[in-house]
Amino acid sequence: MVSRLPTEIYAMIIRCLVNDRHRKSPEEMKILCEEYLYTNIQSKRLSIEIKPQWLLCFALAVEPRRAHTIRSMKCDFRPHYYQYQAWLETLRLCTNLTHLGLVWRGLPPQNFLEQMGNLVSACPKVTEFEFHMCRHEDTGPIGTEQEIRKFALQFADFALQLRHLEVVGLFEYPIKILNFDLPNLKSFTLDMWGYRGSFFQDLSDRAPCLETLNIVGAEQIWVQDLETGCKTWGKVLRSLYINDFPARNLRDGILSHLLPHLAALEELSLGPQSRFPLSDIQAIAQTDTPRLKAFRWLVDDAVFKHDPLANSEKINKAIIDIFNAHSETLNTFIIDEEFDFWNFGMDIFKHLHKAKNLESLRVQLHDIPTKEEIEGLLTACPKLGQSETRLMVVKEFLTECTLATMKYKEDSLEAVESSWGSVHHPMGTQKLMRLYSIPSINHLADEGLTYGQIPSLIATKYKAS
């Protein structure tokens, strides 16, 4: 149902077109392509037009095999186009659905809870659920007492199925689906406003087996509440991501309160809006912090704005301390930045060889290492030369290059993003080359220019333009 077909479909079409033996190729191609067309339903037309919603329902009803191939569906509801009955019948037909996304845009219907309860009840195999309520104001009650009781019965069963849950929106709405026991929940992502003081404590009681917690955004979180939750999850939580965390009493720190309780933690990722004080970054290297396999930090200059004690020198030292403290267990170490004029110098490079299991590395360096230094690092950390992302170093804010078998290659944006999921890409050589039609690094090097001369050439071109 997406406008751009997968490569596999084009390959099937071409094979059929060039083979004269296929007398019924249109019918055969339709059957061959259905697996790709219907596995993941997410068409924009389904949310901005009424007719496609009914056509999808009809297409699945007349050809049940199509419905049986569907594993994932995203329902994007807009008030003027939302056809509740069409979506309900569609979900009932998709008997193998395992991933469901419900996105409500604008004012929800008066019988919102009743409709939502019926929709989730139609999905007995769903284990991954995303709920987005894209509204910023509370208009009061969202259902009668009878509707709330019925919804409670419906969602209580649905909650038992869930292993992955994501909720976004005004707190009053998502909280309705979090008032149930979630004994099998392994991953939880939240981005909510209208925070309540005991949210994490209550959540940890209902979802005691949580392994992944992603705090994309939440208003005015009480650190003590999150700490209480972390105490419950201490032996099971393996991955923690914190982005927007406008906590009360921020100066007292956040991570310094949480990490000592998370004995099983293996991955720690910090987003650009997390506003951690310097003491929190330093706490990651303390002995009472669990040994990490992966550390990622998308640094924003807010780290200098919110803490008068923070400066480049202290942050650099804190990051080196983090690397050294976790070097025996690290396989991923990524520091990216939201601004372009700060780097580590070269101090961290002499410590990198300590992480023997390192597979993915991204750090900001003041200068490009020598060939001998790189050979020494690859000898000490052989997996760096084997992984897809390999070693990425950045010289100042102009030169970016990827190390692969001791040869510099042009930066691979896809490789960087695969290591983080989605990262900010600094204004580096490749971007400047695209903007000002400068030859590639390898081409410039072939013409006799040294890597030290390339930034000057780029800067000259930049000023001239």
* Domain positions in the chain: 39-185, 266-427, 430-465
pLDDT score at 164: 97
Res. 124: pLDDT tops 50: yes
Highest mean pLDDT, choosing among 120-124, 191-195, 407-411, 445-449? 120-124
- Are the C-beta atoms of 190 and 218 separated by less than 8 Å? yes
Q: Which one has a higher pLDDT value, 181 or 455?
A: 181
Both tokens of 412, joined, read 């691979």
- As a whole-number percent, the residues of the chain with pLDDT over 70 amount to 66
Both tokens of 359, joined, read 């597979």
Verdict on whether the full-model pTM lies above 0.85: no
* Cα–Cα distance for residue pair 257/304, rounded to 1 Å: 21
pLDDT in tens, 252-301: 788 999 999 999 999 999 988 777 888 999 999 999 999 999 999 988 77
pLDDT in tens, 42-101: 556 676 788 888 888 888 898 888 888 889 998 888 888 889 999 999 999 999 999 999
Q: Are strands 332-337 and 360-365 parallel, antiparallel or unpaired?
A: parallel
Terminal C-alpha separation, the chain: 44
pLDDT score at 353: 92
3-class DSSP state for residue 324?
helix
Total Cβ atoms within 10 A of residue 179: 12
E-strand ranges in 115-195 read: 128-134, 164-170, 187-193
- Are the C-beta atoms of 364 and 335 separated by less than 8 Å? yes
pLDDT in tens, 336-380: 876 555 556 678 888 999 999 998 888 877 777 788 888 888 889
- Are the C-beta atoms of 327 and 354 separated by less than 8 Å? yes
pLDDT score at 264: 98
pLDDT score at 33: 59
* Cα–Cα distance for residue pair 301/353, rounded to 1 Å: 28
Task: Please identify, in words, the CATH class of the domain defined by 39-185.
Answer: alpha beta
**Mean pLDDT computed over every residue of the chain:** 75
pLDDT score at 404: 35
- Are the C-beta atoms of 429 and 392 separated by less than 8 Å? no
pLDDT score at 218: 80
pLDDT in tens, 153-212: 888 999 999 999 999 887 666 667 788 999 999 999 998 877 677 889 999 999 999 999
* Cα–Cα distance for residue pair 287/274, rounded to 1 Å: 23
Res. 39: pLDDT tops 80: no
What is the DSSP secondary structure assignment for residue 392, as one 8-state letter?
A: E
Residue in the structure block whose two tokens are 């293996």: 266
pLDDT score at 272: 82
Q: What is the 3-state secondary structure (H, E, C) of 400-456?
A: EEEEECCEEECCCHHHHHHHHCCCCCCCCHHHHHHHHCCCCHHHHHHCCCCCCCHHH
Query: Which band of pLDDT confidence, cut at 50, 70 and 90, is reported for residue 438?
Result: very low
pLDDT score at 17: 52
As a whole number, mean pLDDT of residues 202-227 equals 91
CA angle 17, 19, 20 (to 5 degrees): 100
Torsion of CA 421, 427, 433, 435, to 10 degrees: 100
Query: Which band of pLDDT confidence, cut at 50, 70 and 90, is reported for residue 391?
Result: low
Alpha-carbon distances, residue 234 vs 239, 312, 347, 461 (angstroms): 11, 32, 34, 54
Both tokens of 181, joined, read 């026991």
Q: How many residues appear in the chain?
A: 465
CA angle 203, 168, 93 (to 5 degrees): 95
Both tokens of 122, joined, read 């139609």
